[in-house]
Structure 1
Amino acid sequence: MLPQEIIRAKRDGQVLSAQAIEAFVRGITDGSVSEGQIAAFGMAVYFNGMHRDEAVALTRAMQNSGDVLQWRDLDGPVVDKHSTGGVGDNVSLMLAPLVASCGAYVPMISGRGLGHTGGTLDKMDAIPGYQSYPDKALFDKVVRACGCAIIGPTGDLAPADKRFYAVRDVTATVESIPLITASILSKKLASGIGGLVLDVKTGSGAFMASFEGAQALAQSLVQVANGAGLPTSALISDMNEPLANCAGNALEVRNAVDFLTNAHHQPRLAEVVLNLAAHMLVTAGLAQTVADGLAKAEAALKSGYAAEKFGHMVQGLGGPQDFIEKASCYLPQAGLQVPVYAGGSGYLHAIDTRIIGMSVVTLGGGRLRPQDRIDPAVGISDIMPLGTEVKAGDVLAVVHAQTQDKAEMARQMVQQAMQLDDRAPPSHPVIYEMVTA
């Protein structure tokens, strides 16, 4: 089939056959489809959408455009989690070892930060020596030995998606639910997992700020994943404030170690981590009910076994063998710590979480351009929770910076993001709903 005829059909609102979609994806992979044709196809999908079967076919075709990992000889189920991204979202760092400590295998292929949202790989790179892009042999070895490994995608997994996304990124077609769905799921299917749980964020710091948008994305992801043969469910969770009480790569790793070692648990963060773990255990067949999964996850966390798994994973991928015990000694620290003081009294009524994320980017903890280098030490810590009663002069947050100029810019941004009022804000649930097939 000629690429232009496939584009014409989708432009005119027709439902494409699986064969047509497979042919177009083959062209993306082997280069016979031009960037202009990819852009035209993306725009046609953006305006006309896709039926579920079309999205399943696109997902499957991109999954099979490169290597597909196999874990068939492991002695336990293989599951994973994906988050649509947020601020202070370090959940993966705790979740992978926690679920592994309950008997599952978690080969977690993660990404880098995008815009105001932090990336799991950028957090792991804050650990000295950690190899976020190991070869396949080391990845396989660590998953088998530790039960989990958090790494970046190899060039061989879903290469069609990589090329397609690069074109979408510069042609204003990123915000298409069928294309987002296929992009996320093609890589997860290619990683060889047998079950998936999604964390779809909504709120001021989320990619899908409206609940309706998050709900539509969650439903699309769950329907298409199950249609492609991957048992999947999704939680829709709140991102109207940072999930951890910090944002920034080394700061979030330190927070994760504190969580795993039971040194400090923040209620909102714990609720998301434990609920995702419970649903992953149900999906894996290691728990009969969500309540059973919660009990198992809480026991593994309390026992210290999850922290032990994390330490073994870090060591297996080149990090320090005593990282859990001496995380503060290994993680980089910024030269300046500047408090952000409340200018008046009242309640912390709202947080523009996107601005908090962008303040980290301003400090050098995120990227303005793909080639930018990240400073893992910078960020925002001690972020006051929503609803806290505040007096003038109270510390709303602490900026970690390398220069006074950047510290001041970030301080002003954080102060702008944190809005006081004489009324307490309405409470938001941490988890809004569960979406199943």
Structure 2
Amino acid sequence: MMIQEILRRKRDGQTLDHTMLRLVMNGIADGSIGDAQIGAFAMAVYLNGMRREEAVALTEAIRDSGQVMRWDDLDLDGPVLDKHSTGGVGDLVSLVLGPWVAACGGFVPMVSGRGLGHTGGTLDKLESIPGYDVAPSDATFRRLVKEAGVAIIGQTGSLAPADKRLYAVRDVTATVESLPLIVASILGKKLACGLETLVMDVKVGSGAFMPTPQAARELAEAIVAIGCDAGTKTSVLLTDMNQPLADCAGNALEILEALRLLRGEKGESRLHDVTRALALEILIQSGIASDIADATRRLDRALDSGEALERFSRMVHGLGGPGDLAERPHHYLEAAPYETEIAADASGTLGAIDTRALGLAVVELGGGRRNAGDTIDHRVGLSRIAALGQRVERGQPLARIHARSESEASAVSERLRAAFSLSDTSSDAPPPLIHATLRREDLP
């Protein structure tokens, strides 16, 4: 069938079958379909939507547009699984969850991304570590997954290549917000890694990618339905992003925070609790643990014994980083040359945080990209960020700025101060960390 006929069908609101979608995605991947036709396809999907079976076929076609990893030949003695987040501020869960779950018997081939807009990227954080190679050979990637149980790398050109071109065109044709295209983009890349189990972390709140709780819920339900129908056991936790997940934001600062958590120093923190909830879900859904009590025992043992930290260290060293990062992190992770605090201009209880504004401040300091080719300064960011519900007196710090210079810190300080809203009352409790957990049986 000619591509024009497929585009006409979708333009007119008809359903595309698996063969048609595979023809389009393969054409995008091999370059035989031009940007104009990609844009027409994306706009037709944006305007007309997709039926569930159609969205599943699109996801599978993106997954199969390049290499689909197979693990059978490695004789792994546990399931292949992963976690993915829609992104947030101070969200370094992947850095901790991967090695923590690996220490419990899972194998985690985690293909991660860079920062997008106000949200931080796992790859940018890892590149704070001198020598860490986010683009190793397939042989190195597979060897580390087997030997360390976890390897966190960037997307290779051979994994879901149709998605890379399709996303680039969506970005310039105002079609990014299409739900079936969002889900197919997320899952196509993840499922190309040959996963048996996937747990998604969909953020809700002022720092979330999805603009409203309803939109986040719709995305979560679509991910569960389409992921499961595409052959991977998939569940979603809706987690709160009305404030940064960690009390810091910035690449090297978040690596330091991950090491603290892996040492067991950050119990009873929001970061610890969300990471633990996701890890519990993935251990139970993958069959590694029989129930919550069993999963809890395994996670406690992996953290308390130092095994989770050791897995992280093996991954870092195996991908070119220093073998003693965990023992001497400040020797390798550069600090920003200038630090200052932003102080509260009144007394009160912290009632709201514009989390997106905090993320954008990190970008402005140089810790993220305004344009695709920008170089990141891994040293900069924020630390000691005040938490919702915290009582703050006039003059007390709301956050600490790590900047390249006094002038760059001053340029963001007023916007940062305005991101914190103080109240005279303390009656409003902070929102729950976990808004909901969705599995296949929970779908309407």
TM class, shorter-length: over 0.9
1:144 corresponds to:
146
Task: Give, in whole Å, the separation in 1 of the partners of 2:98 and 2:163.
Answer: 25
Q: Are positions 1:52 and 2:55 aligned together?
A: no
**Contact 2:266 2:272 (8 Å CA) reproduced:** no
Residues 305-331 of structure 1 show CA distances to partners (whole Å, capped at 9, x for unaligned) of 101111111111111111111112210
The alpha-carbon deviation at position 12 of structure 1 amounts to 1.6
Q: 1:347 is paired with a residue of what secondary structure?
A: strand
1:83 maps to amino acid: S
1:431 maps to amino acid: I
Q: 2:363 is paired with a residue of what secondary structure?
A: helix
* Unpaired runs of at least 5, structure 2: none
1:111 corresponds to:
113
Q: 2:367 is paired with a residue of what secondary structure?
A: coil
1:429 corresponds to:
432
Task: Give, in whole Å, the separation in 2 of the partners of 1:105 and 1:320.
Answer: 22
The alpha-carbon deviation at position 426 of structure 1 amounts to 3.3
Given the superposition, is the C-alpha separation of residues 204 and 151 from structure 1 closer, same or farther in structure 2, using an over 3 Å criterion?
same
1:194 corresponds to:
196
The alpha-carbon deviation at position 347 of structure 1 amounts to 0.6
The alpha-carbon deviation at position 401 of structure 1 amounts to 0.2
Q: Are positions 1:316 and 2:318 aligned together?
A: yes
The alpha-carbon deviation at position 290 of structure 1 amounts to 3.1
The alpha-carbon deviation at position 295 of structure 1 amounts to 2.9
Q: How does 1:12-411 map to 2 (within 5 A)?
A: 12-72=12-72, 73-411=75-413
* Unpaired runs of at least 5, structure 1: none
Task: Give, in whole Å, the separation in 1 of the partners of 2:171 and 2:234.
Answer: 27
2:10 corresponds to:
10
Task: Give, in whole Å, the separation in 2 of the partners of 1:235 and 1:294.
Answer: 17
Residues 357-416 of structure 1 show CA distances to partners (whole Å, capped at 9, x for unaligned) of 000000000000000000000000000111101100101000000022210122122101
The alpha-carbon deviation at position 266 of structure 1 amounts to 5.0
1:44 maps to amino acid: A
1:258 maps to amino acid: R
How many residue pairs align between the two structures? 437
Q: 1:235 is paired with a residue of what secondary structure?
A: strand
Task: Give, in whole Å, the separation in 2 of the partners of 1:133 and 1:291.
Answer: 38
**Contact 1:278 1:292 (8 Å CA) reproduced:** no
2:435 maps to amino acid: Y
Q: 1:364 is paired with a residue of what secondary structure?
A: helix
**Contact 1:277 1:294 (8 Å CA) reproduced:** no
Task: Give, in whole Å, the separation in 2 of the partners of 1:16 and 1:65.
Answer: 17
Task: Give, in whole Å, the separation in 2 of the partners of 1:163 and 1:97.
Answer: 31
Residues 125-155 of structure 1 show CA distances to partners (whole Å, capped at 9, x for unaligned) of 0001111111111111111110101110111
Task: Give, in whole Å, the separation in 2 of the partners of 1:260 and 1:74.
Answer: 24
**Contact 1:98 1:301 (8 Å CA) reproduced:** yes
Task: Give, in whole Å, the separation in 2 of the partners of 1:23 and 1:78.
Answer: 29
Task: Give, in whole Å, the separation in 2 of the partners of 1:30 and 1:317.
Answer: 30
2:434 maps to amino acid: I
Task: Give, in whole Å, the separation in 2 of the partners of 1:190 and 1:408.
Answer: 45
Identity fraction in percent: 52
Task: Give, in whole Å, the separation in 2 of the partners of 1:313 and 1:77.
Answer: 18
The alpha-carbon deviation at position 275 of structure 1 amounts to 0.9
Residues 255-300 of structure 1 show CA distances to partners (whole Å, capped at 9, x for unaligned) of 0000101223352111110111111111221111234323321221
Task: Give, in whole Å, the separation in 2 of the partners of 1:126 and 1:266.
Answer: 26
Which segment drifts farther, 23-32 or 41-50? 23-32
